[in-house]
Amino acid sequence: MKKLHTFHLWERPQAGMYKDLLLQEGVACLLKNDQLSSAVGEIPFIECFPELWVIDDEIYPRARLLLDAWLETPVGSTESWICGHCGEESGGQFTVCWSCGKAHEEQGGQTWASGK
């Protein structure tokens, strides 16, 4: 088991999102320290940072490439889009629908400018 990334306390939701994305890609992983934010002050704050770990060491290089690509994409770098499968709006930084989980490229989602 290898640590893939350490997130700041305020990035806890993103840590969960990246874990779910890796699981969808077939990468077995887990979050450590996910619920320790309530212990800040009783234990050192740096010990409370959420950590994303890959379970299988052989899959680690693939997981590293996937996560690096996702982290390099600036938030809001593309326009929001409407899922062609369920009709929900997803932010441009997402490649899968938050509601139904369908990939943007696979289900014919439409893109529009932020001003519509």
Q: Apex CA 57: angle with CA 51 and CA 62, to 5°?
A: 80
Q: Any idea which residue has 């979050």 for tokens?
A: 31
Chain Cα centroid distance, residue 37: 19
Mean pLDDT of 97-112: 66
* Mean of pLDDT values over 98-115: 60
- CA 44 – CA 80 distance, rounded (Å): 39
pLDDT in tens, 13-53: 888 899 999 999 999 999 988 765 555 556 655 667 889 99
Return the sign of the alpha-carbon dihedral for residues 58, 29, 21, 15.
negative
pTM of the complete model beyond 0.85: no
